[in-house]
Amino acid sequence: MPSTTAPSLTDVLAAARETLARAGVDEASREALRLWADLAGEPRGRALLRRDAPVSEAHVRRFREAVARRAGGEPLAYVTGRAGFRHLELRCDRRALIPRPETEGLVEFALARVRTGIAADIGVGTGCVALSLRQEGAFRAVVGVDLSAGALELARENAVETGLAVAWVRGDLVTPLGDACVDLLVSNPPYLTEGEWAGLDAGVKAWEPALALRSGADGLAATRRLLDDGRRVVAAGGWIALEIDMARAADAAALAHEAGWRHVAVERDLFGRERYLLAQRSERS
């Protein structure tokens, strides 16, 4: 008679590890465990404590489907539907770019300049930056703007889940904002050239939204507009904080000077790369 004994978590994870490794996934063991834990809604350490216990057929079936998606090239955060960012755990799917660790530094440097008044996040994606500003700052209000209706819907879902209040507005960069209405303008805008986007790894290009990645022939189209138009919406003495591509950090800084910003600084990310541009609006026009 065939055995009816349910497989243990150890057996299930071993099979998943082999599948992922054959597909060329790096750190297959770690990813298999994360997939299991995230789908189960439990910490990875807790899952390991009961690795020899049998697991339900329904959970195993769902897990195997997730493993197949990951082996097919879908990014891990989209498969699990979750992404961590600073102190937040957020929903994540193809409606928005997956939050990166580097962008956590953008929040850090922005809050070092401004923590009160009104803040605006341009190009919200999952809402990770806007929600972090609301959670960690002491702002009177936080506004999140995105051109993508899908991204705004996802950001709203994350706001509800986290209980953090942000005013979400659909629009093209700073267009929907009024004159001198914010004390802090933050954005992780698209900053890839058309050629760089065309040469992206398939794990990014085939899955993540091009709207959040491509920025014209020189990769600076969105950055240029934010620096030029941002002077209209940032109040006197306020700050702008942008994530930039390290290969164009000097060009972005030059654009900030040309646009009339002062105290222009380029800061490095946790990997030592020039990644953030910060500048202050002068007290005069």
As beta bridge partners, residue 266 has 277
Instruction: Give the closest residue to 220 by CA, choosing from 247, 181, 239.
Output: 247
Please give the angle made by the CA atoms of 243, 249 and 252, to the nearest 5 degrees.
80
Q: Where are the alpha helices (DSSP H) in the chain?
A: 9-22, 28-40, 44-49, 57-71, 76-80, 101-113, 128-136, 149-162, 194-198, 202-205, 221-233, 249-259
**pLDDT tens, position by position, 247-279:** 999 999 999 999 999 999 999 998 999 999 999
Strands 167-170, 262-268: pairing is unpaired
Sign of the four-CA dihedral 96, 99, 105, 108:
positive
Residue 211: both structure tokens together: 């709207």
Strands 274-280, 234-243: pairing is antiparallel
Domain covering 96-280, topology: Rossmann fold (3.40.50)
Residue 114: both structure tokens together: 């401004």
pLDDT at 191: 85
pLDDT at 5: 64
Angle between helices 28-40 and 9-22 (to 10 degrees): 130
pLDDT at 40: 77
**pLDDT tens, position by position, 143-159:** 999 999 999 999 999 99
For 138, residues 6+ apart whose C-beta sits below 8 A from its C-beta are: 115, 116
Neighbours of 173 (CB within 10 A): 19
pLDDT tens, position by position, for the chain (285 residues)? 344 566 788 889 999 999 999 999 988 999 998 898 888 777 767 766 666 677 778 888 999 999 999 999 999 999 999 999 999 999 999 999 999 999 999 999 999 999 999 999 999 999 999 999 999 999 999 999 999 999 999 999 999 999 999 999 999 999 999 999 999 999 999 888 888 887 777 778 778 888 888 788 899 999 999 999 999 999 999 999 999 999 999 999 999 999 999 999 999 998 999 999 999 998 665
pLDDT at 1: 39
pLDDT at 2: 45
